[in-house]
Structure 1
Amino acid sequence: MTITTVMRRQILPTTLAATLAGLLMVSGCTKQTNEDTNADATTQSEVQSTEATDDTTLSAVDKAHTDRLMISYANMAHAAFKDSLDTAKALQAAIDTYVATPTQANLDAAQAAYKIARQPYSQTEIFRFDEGFVTPNDKRAIASVDSWEGQINAWPLDEALIDYVSDTYEGEYNSKDNIINSENITVGSVKQDTSTITPELLAEMNEIGGSEANVTTGYHAIEFMLWGQDTNGVNEGAGNRPVSDYVTEAGQCTSGDTVNEDASICERRGAFLKAAAQLLVNDLTAMEAEWQPERDNTLRSDLMARKYDNGLRQVMYQMGSLALGELASERMQVAFVTGSTEDEHECFSDLTHLSYANNARGIQNVFNGSYRTVAGKTVGGYGVKNYLADTGNQEAAEKLAADFIKVENAFNVIVEKGEKEGIKVDQMIATVGQASKQGISAEEQNTRRGWIENAITSLQELTDGIENAAKAVGIENLDADAGSQF
């Protein structure tokens, strides 16, 4: 079964001829222990009440293994989205405080809350790429995770549509009018009233004019509003938006280096940030509800209803598509090949090293059957690794486990360099020519690029493993999304 997924980003052209042909699968940066293998009453009721759409070829033993895998997967999804919602609410509270009282301490607190909120959400991206599997259902609030995700995590965004940018900025949107400084803007042939900034307006404007770069919602819009544009290129440093951008007193309100006589622009900036935070909480509230047990017409109930039919394929397809098509290709390879900081996933805050690692961890969570919540509880209890072993495919399970360790080690290096040594991904992806302008030797830059390259290359070693594991359990031609291969 071939499934085409829609990638929500621009792919920059490149003349590089090399092709990274076999990227797949990636691990997280910490192992999970103390797995909870006990099914609760809710879990048992799901097993008993769910009927398969096509289960004639499965034995009772195989069905039992499938039950455990799907329930563990669904419970991990619920826990991860619940953590994402809770940390988004904490971020919203920090934003409310900052907008009401714009001080450096409150900005620091809001930025810290953003960093915390991103970590559980980045682990939920394993649950994407489901659009080709879910059953159409008009009674379900959300059609699929993949169709929902664009309003929450779309990137890269054309920041000129939202607020001021540097004079050297080059993007698709090149008007001086933007959402913050104008009550009416024109995007292509679309005229938009922006006089009142609300969550509904931002949702309506997301990808306005048909451009995927016109992102007005989600984490990255919030990130831009907290950090501002990163004008450091491949040099050290993230965005440095001043607190005065939110000061609502005449003569003290700024737009970067520009002092605004009218403080209304700072009021609008605060309104945008609060609206974006509210919309994020709304969206995560809706998704968390989709994974609550014992509810009808949800993504969870749909998965459980067809678990013996294509549930296993969906899980393995999602693992491969995030690892190969999204993480290895779209998020890492494109930026690595081009040296483009605009293609860095957290380009305003320089937190890309963490989003990479947590995307990888999400895949490992499903493999191991173990998600560790923000509160420290372990949810799951049964993963693809267990399923392979229990169905007589121990060799495939062991190979994948060994490959995960290699990938885990590669991502640990990226995280350690970013967190402990202050060498961020934008510095790692710089070409030798770019780095030389910053006084970095070719030898040093090749070492830095090697950290990214090693992580990408380590994913290749998992390709055969995931494909062979799928074949071992009867899934031919998994056809995971491969992204944009050069």
Structure 2
Amino acid sequence: MNQIHKHPHPHKRSFLQLSALALLAPAALLASAQQAPAATTTVEAEAVVRHHAVLVEAVYADTLAAAKDLQSAIAAFVAAPSAEALDKARQAWRAAREFYGQTEAFRFYGGPIDDARGPEGRLNAWPLDEAYVDAVAGKPKAGLINNPKFRISKASLSQANERGGEENISAGWHAIEFLLWGQDRSETGPGERSPDDFIDGRAPNADRRRQYLAVVTELLIDDLSFLANAWAPGARNYRAKFEQGGRESVRKMIVGLGSLSRGELAGERLEVALNSQDQEDEHSCFSDNTHRDAVTNALGIQNVWLGQYTRRDGSLLQGPGLRDLVAAKKPDLAERTTAQIAASVAAAEAIQAPFDREIAGAKDAPGRLRVRKTIDSLVAQSKLLVDAAAAVGIAKLTLVQP
């Protein structure tokens, strides 16, 4: 894991007309036996928008709570590094990613996450050049951690993020992931960083490594708190404007789903890796969590479409969603879109770990076929989302370029 491929980051891609995209052939539509039928009553756009704000707030609140659990686990590990404490921190990272992955459906329309001041590039940018952060195989003195002139603070980590190159990632989920797992040099599992890297006398700059891990996690909490506050109820914030946005807010919701479906998840996160068969193009490559990234991204799309979200405590948040709005105009289209989105979630769930083995081999290798099936389903649903937008009177959509 030493070579970096410079494909565009998700927060830096250009926009174009959705209708002008060259879309792949759609996969077969699959009905979901577990999916409830679309509502038959008339739903107003305002009600869908208001409930969406409630849903977004809930997902960010759960993400922040899970990230604080991660912070506690990391604090315990930093205080007394051990294999057991490191394993608990890794488990907490995976658990928090389950919720953050579902927030990706709230992107791509200039909202708080990725507007000009948004923290997306500091939260989830990738691929990460490991040598920018810490020592790697063959470069024992590489990285900010091993540079005594670099002062480790939230401000300095933020300023260093993407400085001098898009792969120079110093903050966010994947910087934390790299520190917890290390380079993934195994074909059958994730990275195997030793807790000794954080113990004085057993590894150079262990104290700075502990400090870096603690500070970069605190910065993550700050950024997630910013997003939670932007969607909090009863405040003069982005949510207040969004709730008053009417049809424009509905357009943003569909843009987010279409962009994540085609340009980001099907394109950047799956198709690029499938074509290159390169581990560097894997989203969460250090932890081998990429298969779950795909599932949670697909689930986030389904959440918004249905107006449903299963909370961290297991309760179901439910209300009017985009499906209901479309069903009032074109019930058949609403059902076909619902079935296709369910098919995408199911296809993503079939992708096996480790992802870097799924994308390897001949064109007809079982793993490659599973990834291709997911891509095709996501592309098919993006076409249906265009039709759904038209059904509710929205013609002008923009989507990130695949």
TM-score between both structures, scaled by the size of structure 1: 0.74
- Name 1:183's counterpart in structure 2: 148
Cα deviation, 1:291-326, whole Å, max 9, x if unaligned, reads 111111x11112122224x11111101100011111
Query: Does the alignment pair 1:156 with 2:95?
Result: no
1:115–1:31 distance in 2 versus 1, CA, 3 Å: farther
2:360 paired residue among 399, 424, 430: 430
- Name 1:207's counterpart in structure 2: 162
In 2, distance between residues paired with 1:146 and 1:6? 16
In 2, distance between residues paired with 1:142 and 1:408? 24
2:211 paired residue among 263, 266, 271: 271
Contact kept, 8 Å, 2:136 with 2:142, in 1: the verdict is no
After TM superposition, list the pairs within 5 Å mapping 1:466-481 onto structure 2: 466-481=385-400
- Name 2:226's counterpart in structure 1: 286
Contact kept, 8 Å, 2:107 with 2:114, in 1: the verdict is no
- Name 2:310's counterpart in structure 1: 372
Question: Which residue identity does 1:304 align to in structure 2?
Answer: E
In 2, distance between residues paired with 1:66 and 1:346? 36
SS in 2 for 1:316: helix
Cα deviation, 1:405-426, whole Å, max 9, x if unaligned, reads 3222211211xx33xxxxx111
- Name 1:342's counterpart in structure 2: 280
1:31–1:303 distance in 2 versus 1, CA, 3 Å: farther
1:246 paired residue among 188, 192, 198: 198
After TM superposition, list the pairs within 5 Å mapping 1:12-411 onto structure 2: 21=24, 65-131=44-110, 144=115, 147-167=118-138, 176-184=141-149, 194=150, 196-209=151-164, 211-232=165-186, 235-248=187-200, 250=201, 253-254=202-203, 260=204, 265-296=205-236, 298-308=237-247, 310-390=248-328, 392-411=329-348
In 1, distance between residues paired with 2:154 and 2:129? 19
In 1, distance between residues paired with 2:127 and 2:102? 19
1:142–1:129 distance in 2 versus 1, CA, 3 Å: closer
Quote the offset at 1:183 in angstroms. Answer: 1.7
1:320–1:143 distance in 2 versus 1, CA, 3 Å: closer
Quote the offset at 1:83 in angstroms. Answer: 0.6
In 2, distance between residues paired with 1:71 and 1:269? 44
Query: Does the alignment pair 1:412 with 2:344?
Result: no
Question: Which residue identity does 1:288 align to in structure 2?
Answer: A
Structure number, greater radius of gyration: 1
Quote the offset at 1:478 in angstroms. Answer: 2.1
SS in 2 for 1:294: coil
**Cα-Cα RMSD:** 2.8
| Residue segments in structure 2 that go unaligned for 5+ positions in a row | 1-7, 14-21
In 2, distance between residues paired with 1:244 and 1:7? 34
| Residue segments in structure 1 that go unaligned for 5+ positions in a row | 11-18, 38-60, 135-140, 168-173, 185-193, 255-259, 419-423, 433-441
Quote the offset at 1:66 in angstroms. Answer: 1.0
In 2, distance between residues paired with 1:245 and 1:130? 41
In 1, distance between residues paired with 2:9 and 2:77? 36
1:7 paired residue among 7, 10, 19: 10
Contact kept, 8 Å, 1:73 with 1:380, in 2: the verdict is no
Quote the offset at 1:473 in angstroms. Answer: 1.1
In 1, distance between residues paired with 2:298 and 2:117? 18
Quote the offset at 1:330 in angstroms. Answer: 0.5
Question: Which residue identity does 1:272 align to in structure 2?
Answer: Y
Question: Which residue identity does 2:129 align to in structure 1?
Answer: D
Cα deviation, 1:377-433, whole Å, max 9, x if unaligned, reads 22241111111123x22111011012123222211211xx33xxxxx111001133x
Quote the offset at 1:177 in angstroms. Answer: 3.9
1:354–1:124 distance in 2 versus 1, CA, 3 Å: same
Contact kept, 8 Å, 1:32 with 1:370, in 2: the verdict is no
1:104–1:177 distance in 2 versus 1, CA, 3 Å: closer
1:6–1:344 distance in 2 versus 1, CA, 3 Å: closer
Quote the offset at 1:147 in angstroms. Answer: 3.1
Contact kept, 8 Å, 1:218 with 1:276, in 2: the verdict is yes
Quote the offset at 1:146 in angstroms. Answer: 8.3
Cα deviation, 1:262-298, whole Å, max 9, x if unaligned, reads xxx00000000000110011111111011111111x1
Q: Count the aligned residue pairs.
A: 383
TM-score between both structures, scaled by the size of structure 2: 0.88
Contact kept, 8 Å, 2:291 with 2:349, in 1: the verdict is no
Contact kept, 8 Å, 1:9 with 1:156, in 2: the verdict is no
